[in-house]
Amino acid sequence: MASISPPTKPPELKKYGGGGNDPYIRDIDDEEKQLVLGGWIGYSRRIAMEEEDPRLEEFMQVCRKMQAWRRGTGGARKRRFALAACQGDNVDAVVCVQIGPDNRSFAAFITQDMVMTVGFIAVSPSRAKLGAGTFLVKQLKEIGRAQGIRVDFEPLKEVYKGRFYLASISM
């Protein structure tokens, strides 16, 4: 069994005020993603035994789909990976992303434009109120803007009643 590498070092502490608790995003490998999502599923199961909440079942289904999402190349010019929103040592949200050719129009196909498609997003059930999911959506839009890549949040319409899809539109 392969050992899990430690997470990347968080950003340096600020010298004047604020401390080192600013949220940041980082790449997360499949093993760490499995570990984080598995922990969130277990936590959600324990909560579900105590209280009746239909959102927990949807959350666990999304996490299981995300566990099956593998990083790497997924065909011609497609790349899959996962990013995590972190604060301190905690992983607060995970998103699965694929970058590939943009085939939405003939012009985009001819110019070989790329699109970053956000497939799934999950937010830690123990820290769900901290806005980590919205932070991650905002950062993905910034990455797309900086790289000149269109970001597609369409798959998120069906996840969590479109909450993160709506957040992506409003930013």
In angstroms, the CA 54 to CA 133 distance is 20
In angstroms, the CA 69 to CA 58 distance is 17
Structure-derived torsion over alpha carbons of residues 122, 96, 94, 17, reported in degrees to the nearest 10: -130
pLDDT category of residue 57 using cuts at 50, 70 and 90: confident
Residue pLDDT, tens place only, 83-134? 999 988 889 999 999 888 887 777 666 777 888 989 889 888 887 666 888 8
Tell me which of 3.40.630, 3.40.50, 3.30.40, 1.10.357 is the CATH number of domain 27-170.
Answer: 3.40.630
pTM of the model: 0.77
Domain ranges of the chain: 27-170
Q: Are 59 and 32 in contact (CB under 8 A)?
A: no
Structure-derived torsion over alpha carbons of residues 1, 82, 124, 57, reported in degrees to the nearest 10: -90
Q: How does strand 150-152 pair with strand 114-123?
A: parallel
